Amino acid sequence: MITDTMYIGSGDVTQLMSGINTKGFQSLLKRFVSGVKPYYNALSSPIDACRTGAILELRYCLTLSQDYFYQYVVKCSDMDVFKASLDFAKLSNGKVCDFDELKSISLNDYMDLMPYKDDYDERLKYIKKRYKHYYNQVQEQLMCAGIEKANLVFLSVYTYNDEDNIRREIQPYEYIKTEIYRDEEVIQSIRDKAFIFQQIKNLYK
């Protein structure tokens, strides 16, 4: 069914927020109305960064308590065009109360972030500048989850060797966790850009 692809996920936010004449936005629009649902298997990706990220997600999961759920999907309550897959969602009474969004970054990029490790305000400022696309993604996730804050976690990548990463035991000093609060201005801009997508979906209801 064509409606199977009529959604905007958290991974689509960067394309959504691009200019309407960009390749990214056009690609999102084409997928949206294609009716051909994409399937991804990051663990078998030929792209080292994608495959490593997927492996390290599973390793990071081992550092969390059992009340976290892996790849938990939530949908926006008032704009059903939005849905989000949360890397690690914590539930309370059957509802999401917190989540971690994990991003694996190179050792060099991790070291660039390290000077801000103990200064939340400066770290957030750096994230909003250097990793704006991740910040926006978390805002879409917060909107869909209906909560006020969550965590953006940057994990250092040491190698792209699968066997080494599969055996890796992640330590607290190897990642930096930053609380991200709802930014209603950003959320509204995301909603505004998705308005036409919601109108298209409404035609098929």
Q: Tell me how crowded residue 108 is: count the other CB atoms within 10 A of its CB.
A: 9
CA atoms within 13 A on the CB side of 164: 6
CA distance 160 to 157: 8
Residue 168 structure tokens: 């890796």
Q: Give the pLDDT score at 66.
A: 85
Q: Give the pLDDT score at 11.
A: 93
pTM as predicted = 0.94
Q: Give the pLDDT score at 40.
A: 73
152-203 pLDDT per residue, tens? 999 999 999 999 999 999 999 999 999 999 999 999 999 999 999 999 999 9
31-78 pLDDT per residue, tens? 999 988 777 777 778 889 999 999 999 999 999 988 899 999 999 999
98-107 pLDDT per residue, tens? 999 999 999 9
Residue reference for tokens 């663990």: 43
Using N-to-C axis directions, what is the helix angle for 184-193 and 195-203, rounded to 10°? 40
103-152 pLDDT per residue, tens? 999 999 999 999 999 999 999 999 999 999 999 999 999 999 999 999 99
Average pLDDT over residues 70-94: 95
pLDDT value at 23 more than 80: yes
Helix (H) or strand (E) holding 59: helix 48-61
Using N-to-C axis directions, what is the helix angle for 23-32 and 195-203, rounded to 10°? 20
Contacts of 174 (CB under 8 A, 6+ apart): 155, 156
pLDDT value at 89 more than 80: yes
Q: Give the pLDDT score at 141.
A: 98
pLDDT value at 28 more than 90: yes
Tell me the average pLDDT of the chain: 95
DSSP 11-48: GGHHHHTS-TTSHHHHHHHHHHTT-------GGG-SSH
